[in-house]
Structure 1
Amino acid sequence: MKAVLGDTVIAEAPREDLISIEGNWYFPPAGVHQELLVESPTPYTCPWKGECQYFTVQVGGDRFADRAWSYPHPYPSGIERVGKDFSGYVAFWKEIRVID
């Protein structure tokens, strides 16, 4: 599967390596083009997943604030709920499409 913005692939991994959480596909860290992401200062803590790290996605000269996020250190109860460790996995929204 791929996360794409226009013609730019931001993340890519086989479907079996992704994790689906609440309708969002989370890509493993190794499949994400980290050079396209810049850490955002936007704070958020999910009551069951833990502290979130948002990212601004940069493609060409365009910046898309908070369009990617990750849980670097999810709560153990969140990992148990999901059934797999999703530490550092990255999800996307809005303009970034996830396709097969």
Structure 2
Amino acid sequence: MKERPKEPFVPARRHETLRRELVALLRGETLTAKELSGMVGISEKEVLEHLEHIKTALHGKLVVTPSRCLECGFSFQKRERVKKPGRCPVCRSERIVDPAFSVEAGD
């Protein structure tokens, strides 16, 4: 029995680059990586990678609402990474709210 060759993967057609699309979504709203993932159709991990680049490219205009522990209320204010932390350094809880992102209105 002869197997048919696999069809090549064809990415979705986009009018803007993915990063520009993410920035446009974040201009008027505060969204988590999970919400952005659903809106643009890529994995949450990929969104986080793009957010790291956007953070550098926008020179501080990416506003990060820090993660917060649901058990003790600890806020991860000084955290530089955009990824959600694994556990709270104070109470060791893993119940942590995802960080949220928005873009400051610019010139």
* TM-score using structure 2 length: 0.30
* TM-score using structure 1 length: 0.32
Structure label with greater radius of gyration: 2
Is the strand fraction higher in 1 or 2?
A: 1
Is the helix fraction higher in 1 or 2?
A: 2
